[in-house]
Amino acid sequence: MTEISYDTIGPEKFIELYDPKTKMRGLICLDSTRRGPAKGGVRMGPDVTKEEIFRLARTMTLKCAMANLPFGGGKSGIIADPKKLSKKQKKELVYAYGHMIRNIAPSEYISAPDMYMAEEEMRWIVQANGNKKCVTGKPKDLGGIPHELGSTGFGVSHAALVALKYLKKDVKNITFAVEGFGNVGEFAAKFLCEAGAKLVAVSDSQGVLVHLEGIDFSRLKKVKKMKGSVTKYGAGKVFPSKNILDVHCDMLVTAAVKDLVMEKDVKRLKCKLVVEGSNIPMSHDVEEQLHNRGILVVTDFVANAGGVISSYVEYKGGTVNEMWKLVEKKVVKNTKLVLSKVTRSQCPRCVANTIAVDRVLKR
């Protein structure tokens, strides 16, 4: 594991959790609380690591600062394989997690849904913690604005529209691919298709569907729900999931896998625009290499801030309508701000990092 680098921002605190009764093991990183309680979701996976949690927490620090929200950045993970757990077993682990974070949530840390942790799991955390403010993305009856409404994907679509305009491309004349047809990817695809873009490739854990004539979003959504995979669409060609990087299209939207694009993959991309709907889909070095190749990359904490903006609206007791308006306003404003400062030698992440870090340190 790479040693965690401590710098002017943080990380301020790492917490390792262990519950002897349920054998729940967890990790929490509070990267920064300068702007407010650390905000960031809780994910579940068998291979969650300290480095991963730190990288995601740092992304949240920058994301909240970039969106000008009164939050710092944090992240947590429960180390378990959700695919091997019964609902009862998963609930016991999540309850243990919720109970064990009572001393820091919501005073120092506010969690939210992430991989394999959705609306129902947020209910369990609240029940175990005893304070509704300890998480966002809760069910509606607990005062929540569920992430299942698609706030992150909605924001990603608006970041994409701004970037296309920056590149002087008409959305009605572009093709795009989506890596990961989960909550973020599905809604990003939905809103971009509604704007007139043509979806030509989409992936999930079972493979990538490529159909250059165009994929019908409504049909794709039904197939995914009924048959469990986009690869069952019934038209086009199916390849291994990683082949999403080889698709000829104008724009790639990443929406699932961390470190999707490695240094060895830089020359594979055929698009001119990458919009990062997922967190840390590639390293800073890889983004700079793509920038040097003439590929514009809209940074994750700029493009996918819709979820945390939605969380802020929920946290302050706002409505769903307020959420949609604020997500669009902030994502559009910040994407324009970053792209306006991009140069040949300054890629979007360099610009966004400078803006966000400055906002953190001024608090």
Distance (Å, whole) CA 52 – CA 286: 17
CA dihedral 265, 298, 30, 107 (to 10 degrees): -150
CB of 74 closer than 8 Å to CB of 34 = no
- Upper half-sphere CA count for residue 165 (Cβ side, 13 Å): 12
Q: Which residues contact 245 (CB under 8 A, 6 or more apart)?
A: 252, 260, 261, 265, 268, 269
Distance (Å, whole) CA 3 – CA 244: 31
Please classify residue 76 by burial: count the beta carbons closer than 10 Å to its beta carbon, then call 0-12 exposed, 13-18 middle and 19+ buried. buried
Residue 27: strand pairing partners: 16, 77
Query: Is there a catalytic annotation at residue 75?
Result: yes
Which phi and psi angles does 235 have, rounded to 5°?
-145, 160
Distance (Å, whole) CA 117 – CA 138: 11
Distance (Å, whole) CA 232 – CA 253: 21
Distance (Å, whole) CA 129 – CA 112: 14
CB of 230 closer than 8 Å to CB of 262 = no
Catalytic residue among 75, 90, 91, 198: 75
Please classify residue 177 by burial: count the beta carbons closer than 10 Å to its beta carbon, then call 0-12 exposed, 13-18 middle and 19+ buried. buried
Q: Nearest-CA neighbor of 38 among 97, 114, 112?
A: 112
CB of 67 closer than 8 Å to CB of 101 = no
Query: What amino acid is encoded at 62 in this protein?
Result: L
Give the position of tokens 């724009």: 251
Q: How far apart, in Å, are the Cα atoms of 250 and each of 1, 69, 323?
A: 36, 32, 30
Q: List active site positions.
A: 75
